[in-house]
Amino acid sequence: MLLPALGGVLPDRPDAVRIDGETASWEELRTAAAGVAGRIVGAPAVAVYATATLPGVVGMLGGLLAGVPVVPVPADAGPVELRHILTDSGAALLLADTPPKHPVPVPVEPVRTARPASSGRLPEPSGTATALILYTSGTTGAPKGVLLTRDAIAHDLDALAEAWAWTPDDVLVHGLPLYHVHGLVLGVLGALRVGSRLVHTGRPHPDRYASADGTLLFGVPTVWSRIADDPGSARALAPARLLVSGSAPLPVPVFDRLAELTGHRPVERYGMTETLITVSTRVDGERRPGYVGLPVRGVRTRLVDDTGAVLPADGESIGELQVAGPTLFTGYLGRPEATTAAYAPDGWFRTGDVATVGPDGQHRIVGRASTDLIKSGGYRIGAGEVENMLLAHPGVREAAVVGAPHPDLGQQVVAYVVGDGVTAQTLIDFVASGLSRHKRPRQVHLVEELPRNAMGKVQKRQLLP
């Protein structure tokens, strides 16, 4: 059973789920979701406005109970994106309590439509059935639909529960969007699988995290950075059990500041939409800033060079991270060629991320192969190392490093910095004083802000010339 909390397996609790102030028990959630399931059972797929609201969650759970692939849609999706997702996914309808602002090619129904729940429970779908179709924001072309099975989700959540000692006694708190793996799979389905209480704060404001009385808190680096800048809210997290960061590298200064204010060294983890979470720091393991830990149960990893040769786990060799295991997706919807291209000839998934792995198995993600591995003058430079060095300067608030074309070096290191009272040359010299000189930025651009997506990830392709 994918979600025991909705299957009557676990004792009901009246305050099981609180989303932006609205509360429901598991039984109330199951009854509402069953009402939705009865309306859509047999549909090829159902799209749901993935709002951080109780109706938004009920709509997605209804699809899962019915065994209908669920297509979470960002509530702020523009007309082109919205039409593409609805058309490409084959969704029979869009569940939305707030009508879309733009015309859509499918019927729209509110989640809260009063319908009696089925008198009996629907049969549990096969574990190999598609549970979710999540759309990625690919680097080229329109977003692709990633097919995730019920078994992949169940295995990943069980492996993470083991790694983080996640139990029904926990209170999970986060304020993340519900159309990504982090906010939806971990942040909602995880609670319903483990049986822990869930508090979604609506928005990831530091004061809302501080007042939620959570034991297990999820956030992306942008969230943790804002909490670290709010000492009162950060100190209020001291009674928590675990702070988990993901979706992008957590800057080392933010890690250190959180540890100082909360008394907790954050747990970092790594994953992708196509693979779910494959690598994580353990609750009882070393929490090393800049590292994402070890493969979760059942997952294997390796590093390869540009020729496909496997690299040693020596902590120095930088290569593409490839993964294998039961958490991987079954393919891109309607794109067999893209699915084939995502795998190496021997079946390992190509993440497109570059990393190092130490002799102790600890993984450090350098960044995306396309934007974060800089080949300059014969050297292979990880953008993340330079970014962390820049962030160590007291006048730097944010930093992003890319490789720009250079007629002699091939690529040169270029930094974009949000800071106060600093100059480009000061920062170039600062990096050179702490790292090898070939890693220093050749150019530093001082900017007002860095381009980010909804999950707080810096969009480096917008910085490239």
CATH for 395: 3.30.300.30
Handedness of CA 106, 112, 115, 119 (dihedral sign): positive
Does the residue 266 lie in any domain? Answer: no
What mean pLDDT do residues 22-49 have?
94
- In this predicted structure, what is the pLDDT of residue 7? 87
| Among 132, 221, 140, 227, CA closest to 180 | 132
Does the residue 261 lie in any domain? Answer: no
- In this predicted structure, what is the pLDDT of residue 120? 61
- In this predicted structure, what is the pLDDT of residue 384? 81
CATH for 138: 3.40.50.12780
pLDDT in tens, 242-266: 999 998 788 888 999 999 999 999 9
- In this predicted structure, what is the pLDDT of residue 141? 61
Query: Strands across the sheet with 108-109, in order?
Result: 108-109, 94-95, 46-49, 70-73, 130-135, 145-149, 331-332
pLDDT in tens, 154-179: 999 999 999 999 999 999 999 998 99
Does the residue 221 lie in any domain? Answer: no
Say whether pLDDT at 121 is over 80: no
**What is the domain extent for residue 175?**
4-184
Does the residue 301 lie in any domain? Answer: no
pLDDT in tens, 42-63: 999 999 999 999 999 999 999 9
Does the residue 212 lie in any domain? Answer: no
Does the residue 161 lie in any domain? Answer: yes
- What tokens does 400 get? 């992003």
pLDDT higher for 371 or 381?
Answer: 381
| 126 alpha carbon, distance to own chain's centre | 26
With residue 24 as reference, give the H or E element that holds it. Answer: strand 22-24
- In this predicted structure, what is the pLDDT of residue 229? 93
pLDDT in tens, 392-403: 899 999 999 998
| Among 159, 248, 160, 175, CA closest to 211 | 175
Spatial neighbors of 306 by CB under 8 A, at least 6 apart, are: none
Does the residue 98 lie in any domain? Answer: yes
Q: Which of 22-36, 69-83, 375-389, 423-437 has the lowest mean pLDDT?
A: 375-389
Say whether pLDDT at 202 is over 60: yes
Burial of 352 (0-12, 13-18, 19+ CB in 10 A): middle
Which band of pLDDT confidence, cut at 50, 70 and 90, is reported for residue 368? confident
Q: SS3 helix, strand, coil % of the chain, rounded to 5?
A: 30, 25, 45
| Number of separate domains in the chain | 2
Say whether pLDDT at 143 is over 90: no
Boundary (domain end) residue, out of 184, 208, 236: 184
Does the residue 276 lie in any domain? Answer: no
Strand 410-419 to strand 443-446: parallel, antiparallel, or no bridges (unpaired)?
parallel
Boundary (domain end) residue, out of 156, 184, 212: 184
- What tokens does 273 get? 């939409």
User: Which DSSP category does 56 fall into?
Assistant: H
Rounded to a whole number of angstroms, the CA Rg of the chain reads 22
Which band of pLDDT confidence, cut at 50, 70 and 90, is reported for residue 139? very low
Boundary (domain end) residue, out of 128, 154, 184: 184
